[in-house]
A and B are shown apart, each in its own frame.
Chain A
Amino acid sequence: MSGKLFVQGMGVTTVEWPRLAGLMAAVAPRHAWRARAEEMEAMDEEKVAGMEVVAALGVRAVHEALAMAGEGETSNENQLAPPTESGGFTGGFGGALGEKTGMVFVSGWGMVDATVGYLESMLAEGGKYASPRHFSRSVYSSGPSVMAIALGIRGPCETLVFDDEPVMRALARAEAMLEMERAERVVVCWADQAGEIVSDLARRAAEKLGKREYRRYVEEGVGQGATAMVVARERGKWGLEWGMDESFNLNTIKVKPFPMDAAVRAAAGWLARTAGE
């Protein structure tokens, strides 16, 4: 592919680092100013709290990434921000900008709570009361759909999974979208939810099915969080050129795996490398 790929903004939400500023302070302190949390518009916390965990994590990370990319005050269509005095909404993408924005969303286990909730409702009472609410929220793509609604993203929104390299492959798909002019910027988000059932299934996969890739989860537990990047062909206000190779020290950060974990590690490594720290 021709052209450079710039990360215009980044967002991180994990237990260890609720905001990107914390991560940057850990790996690239001299550049921590780039995490402009103070410039972020307020989110309607009530709305976010009503979302599935994965969607809420994704929204928080993407919101931060967009704020860093300088996309905070361009529209009246963002349904995420609290209403203004006049009753409208502020921040986020407008129609035209939203149509030029795409999304790639990656999750290992998807909407865990909704899936379990739905299965329970389906199996209880002979299945008479299967929950339509849990069903529609249980599909993998419901997370990015909620994010698209909240942020006004109207370009192509793809929910993808990969059997390896979830960070680079998701970024490669975003780059292809840019190269094919399907979008002018793409929000890439990796989000995963922890939970008792996830940990238990990970343990069984490691111990009973012999799946080595799950051993780490047994030892360290399953992490929860989201990482988001706004990528484009142009540098934008904040943008730094994306680049990664084998020499990146991905062990800098001890967060737990799944695609989100890989993304946090990649983001941290890239930040440290780019910042020369």
Chain B
Amino acid sequence: MKDRKDLKKEELQDLSAGVRMENPIKTIFKGIWERPTAFAGLVIIVIFIFSAAFAPWLVPHDPLQMDLPNRHLPPMSQVTQTVVDYTEEDPDKMFTEREVLFILGTDHAGRDILSRIIMGARLSLFIGVGVVLIRFAIGVPLGLIAGFFGRFTDTIIMRIADGFVVFPDLLLALAIMAVRGPGIENIFFALAVTGWTGVARIIRAETLSLRERDFVQASRALGATNKRIIFRHVLPNAMAPLLVMATLGLAGPILGEAALSFLGLGAQPPQISWGRMISQARSTSPIVRGRWWQMTFPGLAIFFVVMGFNLLGDGLRDILDPRMKGGG
């Protein structure tokens, strides 16, 4: 490796062109296009977000419509459904019969599983994005402060973070849900309050290394205030790890919500949650009945979405931070 000062001017320009991205968004998309796994992750996430956004127009059936005669139908069932269809013009006609297809089968109340999965994407996306935003809102400032000011402040903040880490995964969230009761806003609180420490830790490490870099020292020598250094130098340079962390971090709350809802402490009806669908399948259809579709498909939905965020996040890390290549 040549030293920087030995390089010719053109070489130096090449080097800085590599380090300083001309258009970060273009670089990111080019990088994703070149990596099949990251691209697969992006495709999954696009489908997921699309389903969540346009759920009411995509669902083949009403996800809340119960239809007891058609309950527990296996996938690809084509049946005749009788629906109440009363109109003033034709008082004699009370019901209409129509042919319907349940692609992924129906649950214990005759509701279409495919429609419920599509609709359930909304809650997962909402929880994932919301929890990550709250975690960042707590973790980024605390990590910045700890890393930038160091000493006593650092010790206090990081000891508090340590105090949160001693509780096993999900146990603290479970305890909070138990005491506060089930419900969406409590899921937010429980998952956000237990997950900010990871964000704070990474931002702190990033700040610590940026703080000592030449350009920050130079800026300080020129008389820049702490505020200016943090907002002009530290934060913009920490954007790449933040983006990676946000992408990878979406998987955790989605899994967490599913687990809490599976245990009955999360979403409550009529909220449609993938975790709750699995728990309902388990409680209404004993395993020995062999109604595998009721728990398999919602589980696959969770699995693929979590995988999508992991694949895309890993890809982004590769693209934005070449130092991490090959690891993990």
A binds B: no
